[in-house]
Amino acid sequence: MAVDIAISDALVLTVDERNRLYEHGTILVDDGHITEVRKSADDDGAIDATHTIDGDGMLAMPGLVNAHTHLELTPLIGAFSDLDLLEMMGSMTAIYGRLGEGDFDYLVEAGYELAALNFLLGGVTTSNSMDVRPSTGAETFGEAGLRGFFGPTITDLFWDVPVDEQFDRARAFIDEHHDTYDGRIQATICPHDDWSCTRDLWERTAALTDEYPELLVHTHLLELEESNTMARANGGTDSLGLLDEVGLLDDRLVAAHFRVADEADIERTAEADASVAHCPSVFCYWNPDAEMQWTPVPELREADVDVGLGIDDHYWHDSYSMFGEARQARLAANVKRTTGQYSSMELVRMLTIDGARALGIGDEIGSIEPGKRADIILLDVDKPKFTPLTNIPAHVVNNATPADVETAIVDGEIVMRAGQPMTIDAKAVQERVESAVDRFADEMGWELHVGGGEPPGSIETIRDLPKRGPVRLLSRLALQSARDKLPF
């Protein structure tokens, strides 16, 4: 009986519970699922299949999971690279404020297309994105054959969009996009973070989760020292305590960053079965405080918290590479602490099965096992840089790049083969992106050229910044910081 896809004679890194590695392995896929994984037989190249793939010189592994990201401003990659931190934050806040008002739709559309194209090319088969207006993203990733979680940002202290409008927008997005494209596109509920949301907004978010009990809650948590300060300003003991009080500290929570978590935070997160997305590159690039602790990933993993890797705002650090994110996780942790914080296989698992588990779909994807959905990538390892092929997990997390991905399969469909996207017109996307960036630069007065770029002057940036929300945010933080210093 014929199957849909037969991959034979490949190196197969299964990332199953035993981390089995076949030096010559065969994978059979039918009706979107993996049906067989085994050592190759001599005649496997002749298996009756709609698509046969000769895996000689290839490494088959699960598709990569980007557990936390933002995608709308993808065309601005390179625009922020050489700004100082305050310039970058000011420019970003001004742009996000206008996105919240519905501006720059042309840039957003181009951004989602460019992100989908580059993630597909780089083996990222699943992404979890928090954006301002994600409808286009859900449709773009769905049409590209990719798997994605999307949700609109909700916040009352980051911009000036009326809160009622934000919640109406969230409900409309969920009703239209959740569980679409054969289940590959899922909606999420996205309160922005624990320093730009009031208690009232957290309580309204909890009420929204009651309406949609199957949805994940995706947020930035314990990212900055100000996180716990704002929680106290909101009447909580600390950030996790506040979330627990309103009913959001549970197995639906996906918390990005978690940089300032302590032992008690780790224990409470483990008890709640919540998950964490670790995004090392963005903080290596834009670290606001050299003395701030690094995300305690080894301790989280030791406590059985699912920790995936995320690329975050890739246009802030100019990289689409999830392989690079794994390498950066190791290097940053070793520099901050001591060597040996991770084994290579631990990092492979964080790129795949642990990221899938963090998003609640570890029983569906993240490893190459019979019964799971077929999200598989093949890397061309018949290259000098991979010679000799010793310690495959180390090659994946230390040496591999997106350019090594030769084939990508999502949900049993081949979306890229021989390095060529099957579901996206790459040239057309490039042309639309270049046009969108030219228009944006003209409208904003932002100089962007092959030698670099200059954002608008400070007066123009201040003019575009949200006013009411950030003023309330800063005043709350200042007042609570003063209270914290009182001797009682």
Sheet holding 124-131, edge to edge: 64-69, 124-131, 147-154, 185-191, 216-221, 253-257, 275-278, 307-309
* Residue pLDDT, tens place only, 52-97: 999 999 999 999 999 999 999 999 999 988 888 888 887 877 787 7
CATH placement of domain 64-358 = 3.20.20.140
pTM: 0.95
In the prediction, which pLDDT does 383 show?
97
Which residues pair with residue 129 across a beta bridge? 69, 150
Q: Residue 459's pLDDT is what? A: 42
Q: Class assignment of domain 3-62+374-421?
A: mainly beta
Residue 13's nearest CA partner among 29, 1, 24 is 24
Can you give the pLDDT at residue 462? 44
Among 63, 141, 148, smallest CA distance to 377 is for: 63
Question: What is the predicted pLDDT for the residue at 1?
Answer: 72
Question: Are 150 and 187 a contacting pair, CB within 8 Å?
Answer: yes
**Partners of 452 in beta bridges:** 449
Per-residue model confidence (pLDDT) at position 88: 84
What's the maximum distance between 2 C-alpha atoms anywhere in the chain?
Answer: 79
Residue 186 dihedral angles phi and psi, to the nearest 5° = -120, 145
**Token representation of residue 448:** 């962007």
Spans of all domains in the chain: 3-62+374-421, 64-358
Nearest CA to 258 out of 273, 288, 284, 278 is that of 278
pLDDT < 50: residue spans in the chain = 459-462, 465
Tokens 């601005």 belong to which residue? 76
Q: Do domains 3-62+374-421 and 64-358 have the same CATH topology?
A: no
Contact indicator for 137, 177 with CB cutoff of 8 Å: no
User: Residue 470 has what pLDDT?
Assistant: 59
pLDDT of residue 481: 61
Contact 275, 256 (CB under 8 A): no
Closest CA to 22 of 31, 12, 35, 7: 12
pLDDT, position 192: 96
Write out pLDDT tens, residues 167-214.
Answer: 999 999 999 999 999 999 999 999 999 989 999 999 999 999 999 999
Under a CB-based contact definition with an 8 Å cutoff, are residues 65 and 359 in contact? yes
Q: List, in order, residues 6 or more apart from 93 with CB less than 8 Å away.
A: 158, 465, 466, 470
Residue 30, strand partner residues: 33
210, 251 contact by CB (below 8 A)? no
**Interior angle at CA 56, CA 58 and CA 400, nearest 5:** 20
Minimal CA–CA distance to 154: which of 95, 194, 113? Answer: 194
The CA–CA distances, whole Å, from 38 to 5, 28, 60, 91, 328 equal 14, 9, 12, 52, 33
